[in-house]
Structure 1
């Protein structure tokens, strides 16, 4: 498995992965379904976004982003998704572990994630990767500007690497 930088050629593949409108909303908040590839390429315009793809046997099997915030000295792992035919095999944890390694190697010790509250599969994956809920008051403050009340997670520094 290799984690490589995202290339525009990957957008069509990744855009096809949400299997329903509900899944698209839980994954990236987009209500348009099917998701156009341009949405994914447009995300790359933000200079603080570092998108990656997980490759297995020369095939793209996962996608995820690092949202860098130098001012706050933190990074958020975001828009993580695994190809539908590759789910259930631990690739989500591999992808999260690789993204986390990139964030830590870049010098960020505070690593966060936000998860749709109905995405139980993702929550289990991220908790298994060493993420734990942030304090309720902090989550409430961060959710004040959000369209829904996300579950906010932070990587525990002393968490075992999976």
Structure 2
């Protein structure tokens, strides 16, 4: 399995993966169901968003984004989703670790994720990938303007790994 930059041709496939409005809400927030390819492709237009595809050969297995915050020197992993027929086999964990590695190489010392509290499979995956909950006071502060009280996670290995990286933020 490899990570490659998102290609516009991936959008239609990724848009088909969530199978219900509830799954869309847990994946990318309160959005209409079904998600359209145009919406997925449109996410790439944000200058701070870097989309990636997890592939095996020609098969598209997963999708995720790194949101880069240059001012804070931190990154957030977002909109992580794995093809339904691939779930439960470690592809999500591999995708998350790959995205975190890209963020670290890009110079981001802090890497975060927010997860819908009912998305137990994602929480299990992300914890298995080395992400741990942030301090409850910090989570409460970050959740104040949010539509949902997300579970906020931090890459436990990022701070240790950042000490050995070089390069400026934003090199993703």
**TM-score, with structure 1 as normaliser:** 0.95
**Which aligned pairs between 1:86-105 and structure 2 lie closer than 5 A?**
86-105=86-105
Q: Unaligned regions of 5+ residues in structure 1, if any?
A: none
State the alpha-carbon separation in 2 of the partners of residues 22 and 157 from structure 1. 31
**Which aligned pairs between 1:74-153 and structure 2 lie closer than 5 A?**
74-153=74-153
SS at match of 1:107: coil
State the alpha-carbon separation in 1 of the partners of residues 3 and 30 from structure 2. 25
Q: Give the C-alpha shift of residue 3 in structure 1.
A: 0.3
Work out whether residues 77 and 111 of structure 2, in 8 Å CA contact, stay in contact via their aligned partners in 1.
Answer: yes
State the alpha-carbon separation in 1 of the partners of residues 36 and 158 from structure 2. 39
State the alpha-carbon separation in 2 of the partners of residues 106 and 135 from structure 1. 25
Aligned counterpart, 1:54: 54
Question: Is structure 2 residue 21 aligned with structure 1 residue 18?
Answer: no
Aligned counterpart, 1:38: 38
Q: Unaligned regions of 5+ residues in structure 2, if any?
A: 162-172
Aligned counterpart, 2:64: 64
Aligned counterpart, 2:156: 156
State the alpha-carbon separation in 1 of the partners of residues 30 and 55 from structure 2. 25
State the alpha-carbon separation in 2 of the partners of residues 149 and 39 from structure 1. 24
State the alpha-carbon separation in 2 of the partners of residues 86 and 65 from structure 1. 19
Q: Could you say what the CA RMSD is over the residues aligned between the two structures, in angstroms?
A: 1.6
Q: Give the C-alpha shift of residue 42 in structure 1.
A: 1.1
Q: Give the C-alpha shift of residue 158 in structure 1.
A: 7.3
Q: Give the C-alpha shift of residue 57 in structure 1.
A: 2.5
Once the two structures are superposed, what CA deviation does each residue of 1:110-154 show, in whole Å capped at 9, x if it has no partner?
Answer: 000000000000000000111100001100110011101000000
State the alpha-carbon separation in 1 of the partners of residues 89 and 16 from structure 2. 19
